[in-house]
Chain A
Amino acid sequence: MRNVGIIGIGYTPVFVSKRKEVNIPEMISEAVDAGFQNTGLTPADIDAMVFGNMHTFEGVNLPHLWAAEHIRSLGKPVMRIATGGTTGMAAFHAGYYHVASGMADVVMVVTYEKHSEGDAQVGLMGIITPEVMTMLAAGIDVTGGSGMGAIGGGSAGGISFQASSYLYHSGAGIEHIDEQAALERRNAAKNPYAHLKDPEATAEKIAQTPLVSWPIRFGHICPTTDGATVCILASEEKAAKLADKVAWVLSVANCASDATTANLIESQITDPAEHLPAIIASKQAYERAGIVDPKKEIDYVEIYNGFAHQTLMYLEKIGMCEVGEAHKLQEAGELEMNGRCPVNASGGVVSTNSIGTSALNRVTEAALQVLGQAGEHQVEKDVHTALAHGWGGLMQYVTITILGDKPKKA
């Protein structure tokens, strides 16, 4: 396989709750324009396109075809990818496959979400329609007041079982989730492309927000954001001609397992905090990148954390620390931008979640750290190697991308 590098990134000018002044294709075109402006490329330089957004969140089908002019895809190969929260990174992986295989030399990955034009909860319900229908037919009480299969509220209801199990097995407390949310909202204040920013955020302030579903509070939960992100990938040969600085893809990996929600079709057998896919995918990614000890060799991590406990949980799953150690690293200040294990200097998904972009933003933010171009949220230590993590599917799908400042040796 050929070496592949990131040669360009484009964001919408802002990531906010409501972009009323532009419609969906107009908003996407802002990120596409930024990608062209930042690289000096033109649509003629792009061989193929991969498009990603969440299915059904805006009720718009085939947005990649509807927005064809706005993403400059006319007359080019284009495929759309939708894998839930991981969409952005799954689309990035598809772009990587295009170039690594030799099928294309330069690929543009386009992702977006415009939450304000849809209803994320309706979209999420669409994912579990067969389960809900089955449970209704079998006599479930949809108010959750009695009987089997009490239904939680959207993603926050399901995720609370994961957070609860994580706390039990790690020895961390709800106060560590509070602090992680605060830490990332403080980081977000330094990122011009973050949504929820609070330079004064503290664990105490987060702890004052209401409990939604123990141990998850309102302050632990990601916002719904409008925004779009573009990432341009190129082969080593093309990158040398088209870019001054390149963040190289050292490896990609992904893994799925069972649904890990206690519904009545799949008969759950997996602890939602066990997360075998994260363990398997990260191991595979390390092997492919030639990384022996991630604790020493990975300088920076971007975790997909729709909910604040996930930063800590996934640091353990991907082997950046031992089980039960992440909250201790947090207490020691090691997860901060000037720490030894800096994570989510961007503010993470818990600060910004335009969901189609969210897993791609983990890659682009890791790339900015490798390139030394993160500006005010550039971490203190030198970043030679960075890991980006994506989480989604029906709780059970994980994507990993490892980037470096040098191309992989053949």
Chain B
Amino acid sequence: MEETKIVNGAWELSTFHFPIEGRGLKTMLKNMKDKKLVGFKCPQCGMVYMPGPFYCRKCFIRIDDEAEVSDHGEIMTFTIGYADVRGNPLDEPRIAPVVKLDGCDSWIMGVLEGVKPEDVHVGMRVKVKWAEERTGSLQDMQYFLPE
């Protein structure tokens, strides 16, 4: 590794002007303060998306109807991480499930606590652990727990 040169620097995030939140994520974050999960429902096929896009991915028609989604759901797939984002080994393996919440057709990724890695499986029922103090941030949904 002695041949690797390291150049320290900072990434000024405010120089990026992406449409940061979008309607779907704004609606979701606003309602999470009240422990509510809100997506958008296609008036034609009934697909529910959270966060909700402007257009249905199946019908390609405009969606404007909000729909409430449960904070309970089912694991669709998962991974178990053994290293952090910098590649350093973690003290404890970290379980990352992708969950389909009841009443929602899109999936959401998170962290699963309260279960051993060897006991996680596709189809497992889980629920959201909400933060005590909620601020309208993604941190309001702390992690998933077994149902």
Contacts and interface: CB of A to CB of B under 8 A. Distances in A.
Interface of A: 129-130, 133-153, 157, 160-162, 164-165, 168, 210-216, 258, 262-269, 271-273
A212 B25 contact: no
Nearest to A162: B77
A129 to B, nearest CB: 7
B96 A152 contact: yes
Given A165-B122, A258-B57, A262-B109, A271 B76 contact: yes
Nearest to A134: B20
B51 A265 contact: yes
A271 B122 CA distance: 12
Contacts of A151: 85
Given A135-B138, A262-B109, A150 B96 contact: yes
Interface of B: 13, 16, 18, 20-22, 24-25, 29, 39, 47, 49-53, 57, 76-85, 87, 93-94, 96, 98, 105-111, 117, 121-122, 135, 137-139, 141-143
A213 B78 contact: no
B21 A137 contact: yes
B66 to A, nearest CB: 14
A161 B53 contact: no
Contacts of B122: 164-165, 168
15 contacts: A129-B16, A133-B16, A143-B85, A153-B81, A161-B98, A164-B79, A165-B76, A165-B77, A165-B122, A212-B82, A262-B108, A263-B109, A269-B47, A269-B49, A271-B77
The winner among A151, A213, A262, A263 for most chain B CB atoms within 10 A is A262
Contacts of A150: 81, 94, 96, 109-111
A214 B121 CA distance: 12
Interface centre among B18, B21, B76, B81 (most CB of A within 10 A): B81
Given A138-B138, A267-B51, A269-B47, A144 B76 contact: no
Contacts of A139: 135, 137-139
B73 to A, nearest CB: 12
A141 B96 CA distance: 14
Interface of A is mostly: loop
B79 A214 contact: yes
Nearest to A140: B138
Contacts of B39: 267
B21 A134 contact: yes
A137 B79 contact: no
B77 A147 contact: no
A164 B77 contact: yes
B81 A269 contact: no
Contacts of B96: 144, 150, 152
A145 B111 contact: yes
Contacts of B138: 135, 138-140, 147-149, 264
Contacts of B76: 165, 271
B106 A268 contact: yes
Contacts of A272: 77
A152 B93 CA distance: 13
A133 B18 contact: yes
Contact of A157 (B25, B81, B107): B81
Contact of A148 (B53, B80, B108): B108
Contact of B141 (A143, A147, A271): A147
Given A271-B77, A273-B77, A211 B21 contact: no
Nearest to A267: B106
A387 B16 CA distance: 43
Given A139-B137, A149-B108, 13 more contacts: A138-B21, A138-B29, A147-B138, A148-B109, A150-B96, A161-B77, A161-B98, A213-B83, A216-B79, A258-B57, A264-B25, A267-B53, A269-B49
